[in-house]
Every structure is written in C-alpha cells, then in structure tokens.
Amino acid sequence: MTRETNQAYFFVAPAFTLVTLLALVPLIAVVWMSLRRVMPVFGIDRWASFANFAHLFSDSRFWSSLETTLYFAVVAVTLEIALGLGIALLLHRSFRGRGLARTAVLIPWALPTVVAARMWEWIYNPDFGIMNYLLQKLSLTSGPVSWLGDPFWAIHAAILADAWKTTPFAALILLAGLAAIPPDLARAARVDGAGSFRVFFEITLPLLRPALVVTALFRFLDSFRVFDAIYVLTGGGPANTTETLAVYIYKVVFQTLRFGYGSAIAVTMFLLAGAASVLIVGLAGRGAFGVREG
C-alpha cells in the first residue's frame, strides 16, 4: 500500500509544484512584503514590522474602498442569486429548444470581462448610449444621465454590468441544485395538496439551501475581489466612488509603487474574505450540508 501512496505523490507532483511556485510562494512573498517597506524602483527593501498595518487603520481611502467593496459585493450577490434562481427555475423545466436557451444563457459568462465592460460602457455612454436613449423614449428620465460619471450612479452601473456577466454562473450552480432534488418530492407534495407556491417555498427552497450557500459563497468571494470590470469601466472613479479594494491595491502598487503597503492591504483583504466566508457558511450553512434523502 505504501508503494501506491508514493506513486500517488507522483501524480500530484506536477500540479502541486506549479501551484506552489506560482501561487503559494508569491502568497508567502506577499505576506513577507506586507511586513516590510518595499519600493523596488528606489531599491528600498527593509523591515517595517506592523507599520504598514498601522497605517492601514488611519488610511481613510482604505476604509472607503472597503465600504465600496462590501456594498458592491452584497448588492451584486443578492441580485445575482435572485436573477440566477429565476433563470434556473426557467431552465429546469423541459421545453423545446432548451439547449439553445442554455447556450444563450452562457453567452454573458463566455465573454471576456474587458469586452463586457466596454460593451456596458458603450451602453452607458451619456451622449450616444442606448440606455439614455431608451429611458428618455420611455419618459423615465428627463435628460441624459452620466451613468459612469455620476458619483451616485457609477457604482450601481458597475454592479449591473458585473451581475449581468456572472448571473449565468449562479444560474448553473442553482440549476444543478434543482436537478438534485428528487422529482417525486414535488409530486408527493402536490398529491398532499400543495399548490405551486407552497411546493416552492416548503420543498424546493429548503432543499436548495446547500446550493444557495455555495453560490452565495463563491459569488461573494469573487465580488469581493473584483478588479477587471471596475478597472475598465471606471478606473475607480468618479472621485473614487467605485474604487474597490482590488483597484486600490493596484493603484498603490503600480502607481505609487509601494509594494509593501499594497501587500499589507492584500493580506488584510484576504483575512477579511476568509472571515466573511466563515460567517456566510456559519449563518446559512447550519444543516445545509447535512440533509439526506428520506
């Protein structure tokens, strides 16, 4: 048996080595750098202990970007789960052309983030964008709105664009969850006397809990770390109203070239993400992973 165990290590070796080299080592390097003052351009690299983290506390821009990030994540995830659940329910029924519908649903997911961001930028364009055109046509707005230039609207425009792109993923995970529910349960409930609403709320939703938790978790983690879409859409503006933690880190590291401080922010971000995950799983996950069929 031990010989097989040794052979097993060979199987894992290539993947393990690559991930260690390119993910684990940099990760450790980041933690390392967070404790130092590093500015390669100036050749600075010296020990700073927790100075970076202390600075973090008093950095108002950090706190506002954290607030922005949390707002973004919570709103986006809620939107994605609501839309995703709706789409999953629609795709769960069998109908002609379901394969085509699924392909269509995958399209937003398949587009490169940059492409999707530019696409929405064009839609949001204050002068030539179709969003303003349609809203004015429908008399919902009186004048052109600068979606990406307005301090209030920018973050919401970004949320819509991001949710649009990632809802398919949520829909698919939830669809898998729906498919795992034995169809006899809904039938038994209907024979017992439940109408469609009761079946959904008393049977489907409770049994969908594990899938919902998984979706919420993954989507939250992704939204918390969002970078691509924001960078292309708004670059963090206007007036830093859409500056999420990831964008802030980018600016700190690649614009002000403070690798050490940037790493400290990253480590904090990672810890916060971890804490949030524990919270999510703890709050909603109790019993979600222990339900077996009867």
23 versus 283: smaller Cβ distance to another protein: 23
Nearest CA to 270 out of 293, 245, 233, 247 is that of: 245
174: which residues sit within 8 A by CB, 6+ positions away? 81, 84, 85, 88, 208, 211, 212, 215
Contact 102, 91 (CB under 8 A): yes
* CA–centroid distance for 107 within its chain: 18
| Smallest distance from another protein to CB 91, Å | 8
Sequence-ordered alpha helix ranges (H) in 138-239: 153-179, 183-192, 196-198, 205-224, 228-233
Residue 154 one-letter amino acid: A
Nearest CA to 281 out of 217, 236, 190 is that of: 217
Q: Is 76 in the site for another protein (CB under 8 A)?
A: no
How many residues sit in the footprint of another protein (CB under 8 A)? 111
Residue from 54, 115, 239, 275 in contact with another protein (CB under 8 A): 115
Q: CA 19, 20, 23, 28: dihedral to nearest 10 degrees? A: 170
Contact 62, 264 (CB under 8 A): no
Q: Is 108 in the site for another protein (CB under 8 A)?
A: yes
Q: Is 278 in the site for another protein (CB under 8 A)?
A: no
168 versus 285: smaller Cβ distance to another protein: 168
Q: How far apart are CA 113 and CA 117, in angstroms?
A: 6
Segment interacting with another protein (CB under 8 A) among 3-11, 47-55, 70-78, 150-158: 3-11
155 versus 178: smaller Cβ distance to another protein: 178
Of residues 224-253, those binding another protein (CB under 8 A): 224-225, 227-228, 232, 245-246, 249-250, 253
Q: Is 16 in the site for another protein (CB under 8 A)?
A: yes
**Paired strand residues for 37:** 46
> What is the DSSP code (8-state) at residue 236?
T
Q: Is 275 in the site for another protein (CB under 8 A)?
A: no
Which tokens sit at 93? 């029924």
| Smallest distance from another protein to CB 127, Å | 8
46-65 footprint of another protein as x/- string (CB under 8 A):
--------------------
Of residues 137-156, those binding another protein (CB under 8 A): none
Residue from 36, 62, 262, 285 in contact with another protein (CB under 8 A): 262
Residues in the chain: 294
Q: How far apart are CA 178 and CA 211, in angstroms?
A: 8
Residue from 125, 146, 240, 241 in contact with another protein (CB under 8 A): 125
154 versus 208: smaller Cβ distance to another protein: 208
Of residues 175-194, those binding another protein (CB under 8 A): 175-177, 179-180, 182, 184-185, 187-194
Residue from 110, 239, 279, 283 in contact with another protein (CB under 8 A): 110
Of residues 155-174, those binding another protein (CB under 8 A): 164, 167-169, 172-173
